[in-house]
Amino acid sequence: MVFQRFFRATGLCSLLFLASASARPSDPSLDLTSLPDADVKTLTVQLERTACYGNCPAYSVTIHGDGRVEYNGKTHVKEKGLREGRVEADQIKSLLNEFATAKFFTLSEDYSGENCTRYCTDILTAVTEIDVREASHHVKHYYGCGGAPKALLDLESAIDKLANVERWTGDVSKAGPFGTTCVDRH
């Protein structure tokens, strides 16, 4: 446990999780709405929000299938460091429905570069990951990238809401970048 906390606290956990997630293929045919309870209990969902040139809240939250919630606040949040919480099993199944609605396993792994219709600088990035059964998938979403599907934004918000991150981040509704430069890529 101390080893895990060290890695989470130093951010290396995210790097290791990304490496392991990219080593296993995603399975677009996996029906997330009808997973057996045994599979649900082993799943891991992670959302990381990075800093921006401004006061964007930077933190990560991990939701485990057994109901554990782990939060690590970094910058521009009310609570910095590690915090823990819990969610109910029915809430996790509801979140899996959100992943299914977003068709998460079919989304591109990267909404931050070439596939942007409009590109703005100095904005946060969100990395969303799921690891369940024999499948895993992660999506990097730079908020300055026009072209990411609305379903991805909705899913990121659903993860925050389920984990109740506002208890640790505080009200961040007015937080954001100090300034941006945008370019259309047509």
Q: Which residues contact 75 (CB under 8 A, 6 or more apart)?
A: 51, 57, 58
Exposed (0-12), middle (13-18) or buried (19+): which is 72, by Cβ within 10 Å? buried
Judge whether 90 lies within some domain.
yes
Is 54 a member of any domain? yes
Tokens 């991150």 sit on residue: 165
Residue 82, φ and ψ in degrees, nearest 5: -85, 140
CA dist 82 and 62 (Å) reads 11
Amino acid in the structure at residue 174: K
Looking at the domain assignment, is residue 113 inside a domain? yes
Assess whether pLDDT exceeds 60 at residue 116.
Answer: yes
Q: State mean pLDDT over 23-29.
A: 56
Mean pLDDT of the 123-131 span = 96
pLDDT tens, position by position, 32-47: 888 899 999 999 999 9
Q: For residue 26, give both structure tokens.
A: 């995603």
- Domain of residue 98, residue span: 2-165
Q: How many residues does the chain have?
A: 186
Q: Is residue 177 assigned to a domain?
A: no
Q: Tell me whether residue 176 is in a domain.
A: no
CATH number at residue 124: 3.30.1560.10
Summarised one tens digit per residue, pLDDT across range 145-183 is: 988 999 999 999 999 999 999 999 999 998 988 888 888
Q: 44, 62 in Cβ contact below 8 A?
A: yes
> E strands along the chain, which residues?
44-49, 58-64, 68-75, 81-86, 110-111, 118-120, 125-132, 135-142, 145-146, 182-184
Distance CA 112, CA 161 (A): 24
Q: How many domains does the chain fold into?
A: 1
pLDDT at 26 over 70: no
Residue 56 and residue 124 in contact, taking contact as beta carbons nearer than 8 Å: yes
